[in-house]
Amino acid sequence: MYLNLHILFSFAAANPNRDDAGSPKSIDYGGATRSRISSQAMTRPKRHSFEAGSDADRTFRSALVAEKITELVEKLIAEAGDTITEQQTAALRATATKTITSLTAKDREKEPKQPKRRGKGAATEPAAADGDTETADADEETVDGPKATLIWLAEKEIRAAAHKAFAGITAGEPPALAIEDFVQSQRTDSLTIAGFGRMFAQRPDLAIEAAIQRSHAFTTHATVSEVDYFTAVDDLRNVDRGAGHLGINELTGGVYYWHANLSVRQLAAAWAGIDRPDAAARLTALFEALMLALPTGRQATTAYHTLPALVLAVPAKLPASLQTAFETPIAARNGSGYLAPSVDGLVREHTRTVAALPSRFRPARYAGTAADTVTSGDHAQPAGSLEDLAAWCAEQVLAAAAQLS
């Protein structure tokens, strides 16, 4: 089973996701330019919101994981009333670095350097996959060791690595650490990692496929970026105080549609905690984060903290986006704005989708600030509050997971 989420949210002047020129991201769809927020920009605040707002284990995506492991080992040794020499610390750091970087970078100490070939048929190194790693090495001829890159690990995994290294050091052994000492193959205790997926370029056997697929958010209607011209006042000048600084920002806004779907089968396969007593609470917190958290770009000067106008949750046998509801740009009718016709368009598209494959969909639930404008039907019923809807989503996932075992 899949749990499909369809979310409409709206804000006015903002720039939540910028391109390399600082302009709001956009996309052409249905013959009109729409404002867009990338799936990556949508995902990160939801991931952080879930971990900060619940008792879920924290995760860290960083190039400094080896340093963190070294620090934890030093702390464990100090707590044990022992000391570690500078030579031992250096050996530990080198071991941790080599182990961690082996996840994403080839060990060039073991591989002879190959001259680059130019022109037709030139051999190139495969680029790193889009996800938890960055780009492949830019110049193999000048790189002498594994490239440090972002590694995503759960706090529990980092601590397991530190305890393994600590046990070896206290036993008088040289520092030794293997990936298998702290990373499970295709399974994790972290709901965050199980939900959003994790890959290691050089260890595909340890990869965890994301249980949650996320779309880019885009406006249901055509948009145009507005230029915000501003000046800053120089408090210590007596003349021309308002010209201490001149600048411009680009702003956008509108009603956005965002889709995500959760594969129950993949979640059950990847998340070791799905059978635990606190699974319902953790899933509820995750769904609340998916529904509520927004990107934080330029929040300090635009404060676009809005609740979703509508969240439609649809259990189904397949993932199904409703983005085609807005292939024809929504037009404001008689001063109604874009929100009301966007809600109507989403509900109509859901009804059409269910009618096309009625055996694949189960009755849906919805909530949100505009939920009272939805006409309930056989295909969707009000869930009450957004908190109630998140709890209902968690119940649906756990009930479907129980049927798999």
Strand partners, 36: 218
Query: Is the CB of residue 165 less than 8 Å from the CB of residue 73?
Result: yes
Q: Per the domain annotation, does 305 fall within a domain?
A: yes
Measured CA to CA, the distance from residue 193 to residue 154 in angstroms comes to 8
Query: 365 and 273 in one domain?
Result: yes
Query: 336 and 317 in one domain?
Result: yes
Q: Per the domain annotation, does 242 fall within a domain?
A: no
Query: 322 and 183 in one domain?
Result: no
10 Å Cβ neighbour count for 378? 8
Q: Per the domain annotation, does 195 fall within a domain?
A: no
As given in the structure block, the two tokens for residue 382 are 């009000």
Query: 356 and 214 in one domain?
Result: yes
Q: Which of 62, 64, 66 is nearest to 162 (CA)?
A: 66
Number of domains in the chain: 2
Measured CA to CA, the distance from residue 184 to residue 182 in angstroms comes to 7
Query: 138 and 160 in one domain?
Result: yes
As given in the structure block, the two tokens for residue 366 are 């919805």
The one-digit pLDDT tens for each residue of the chain (405 residues) are 999 999 999 999 998 999 988 899 999 999 999 999 999 999 999 999 999 988 888 999 999 999 999 999 999 999 999 888 899 999 999 999 999 999 987 654 444 444 444 444 433 333 333 333 332 322 322 233 445 588 999 999 999 999 999 998 888 888 889 999 999 999 999 999 999 999 999 999 999 999 999 999 999 999 999 888 887 888 888 777 666 777 888 999 999 999 999 999 999 999 999 999 999 999 999 999 999 999 988 888 889 999 999 999 999 999 999 999 999 999 988 888 999 999 999 999 999 999 999 999 999 999 999 999 998 777 899 999 999 999 999 999 999 999 997
Alpha carbon dihedral 294, 296, 302, 303, in 10-degree steps, equals 60
Query: 222 and 367 in one domain?
Result: yes
Query: 260 and 388 in one domain?
Result: yes
Query: 93 and 26 in one domain?
Result: no
Query: 364 and 269 in one domain?
Result: yes
As given in the structure block, the two tokens for residue 98 are 């080599």
Query: 113 and 12 in one domain?
Result: no
Q: Per the domain annotation, does 77 fall within a domain?
A: yes
Query: 398 and 313 in one domain?
Result: yes
Domain span holding position 98: 62-188
Q: Per the domain annotation, does 128 fall within a domain?
A: yes
b/e burial code for range 182-211 (CB count within 10 A of at least 16 → b) = bbeeeebbbbbbbbbbbbbbbeeebbbebb
Query: 391 and 335 in one domain?
Result: yes
Q: Per the domain annotation, does 240 fall within a domain?
A: no
Q: Per the domain annotation, does 215 fall within a domain?
A: yes
10 Å Cβ neighbour count for 306? 14
Measured CA to CA, the distance from residue 398 to residue 24 in angstroms comes to 38
